[in-house]
Structure 1
Amino acid sequence: MTVGARQRWSDAAKRALVLETFAPGASVSGVARRRGVSPSLAFSWRKRLRDELGFPTGEKRVVEPAGFLSVVVADRGAAHADTSCTIEVELAGGARVRISGAANTDLVAAILKALARR
C-alpha cells in the first residue's frame, strides 16, 4: 500500500468494527486506532449501522458517580507508629486532602466521616 492510497473496507469489516465499539468499556477512538481506521470514519460507520445492528439511536451510557468505600482504621498502638506515612484522599471534583506524619486514628476517622457526609 502506498502513502495516501485509499483503503477499502468490506461491509463485514465495518460491522465487526462497529460491534466492537459497543462492547462494555470500549471507546470508538480506541477501537479505531487499534484497527487502523480514522476515529471520524469509525463514528460515521457507527452512526450509519447502529439501527441495523440493533443499537437504538441516541443510546446514552449512564455513568454512576464515584462514592465512598467503607474504611476501617485500626489502631496499631504507639509501638507501631510510622511518622513517615501520608494519607491522601481525592474527591470527585479533583480536590485532595492530605494527612502527613503520624496520623491519629481518631482524627483520620473523623475526617473520613466528615467527607462522607458531603
Structure 2
Amino acid sequence: MTMALRILIVEDEMTIALLLEDMVVDLGHDVAGLAMRLPQALDMARTAAIDFAILDVNLDGRMSFPVADVLAARGVPFVFATGYGRAGLDPGYKDAPVISKPFDLASLRSAIEGAGA
C-alpha cells in the first residue's frame, strides 16, 4: 500500500467539496485542508504541509491559477478539477493534469497517481 498523502482541496461548491473529502479519505489519504475562496487557498498553498492539491479552476468567479503558481514553486503536484475541461485552463497550464467534473473515484485516483504524488 502507498503512503497516505496530505491533500489540499480547493473547491467553492460545498457539495462538491464534501464529495471530494469523502473520495480522498476513501482512497486512503488525509484531507490537509479545504479552501473555498482564493485568499484562503493562497494562504494554505503557501503554508500548509501538503503533498498534493485538487484545484477547482473557478472559485466564485476568481481563477485559481495563482494557487497553482504557489504550489508549482513549492514542488507540490496538483490537478485542476473543472467542468470546462482543458478549454478552461490558462495557456500556461495547458499541460497540467485535469479531471473533468463530474468525476468519480477512479478518475481521482488516476489523477493523484499520474501526478507523481
TM over 0.5: no
Structure (1 or 2) with the larger CA radius of gyration: 1
Higher strand share: 2
Q: Please report the TM-score for the alignment, with normalisation by the length of structure 1.
A: 0.21
Structure with more contact order per residue of length (Cα contacts < 8 Å, sep ≥ 6): 2
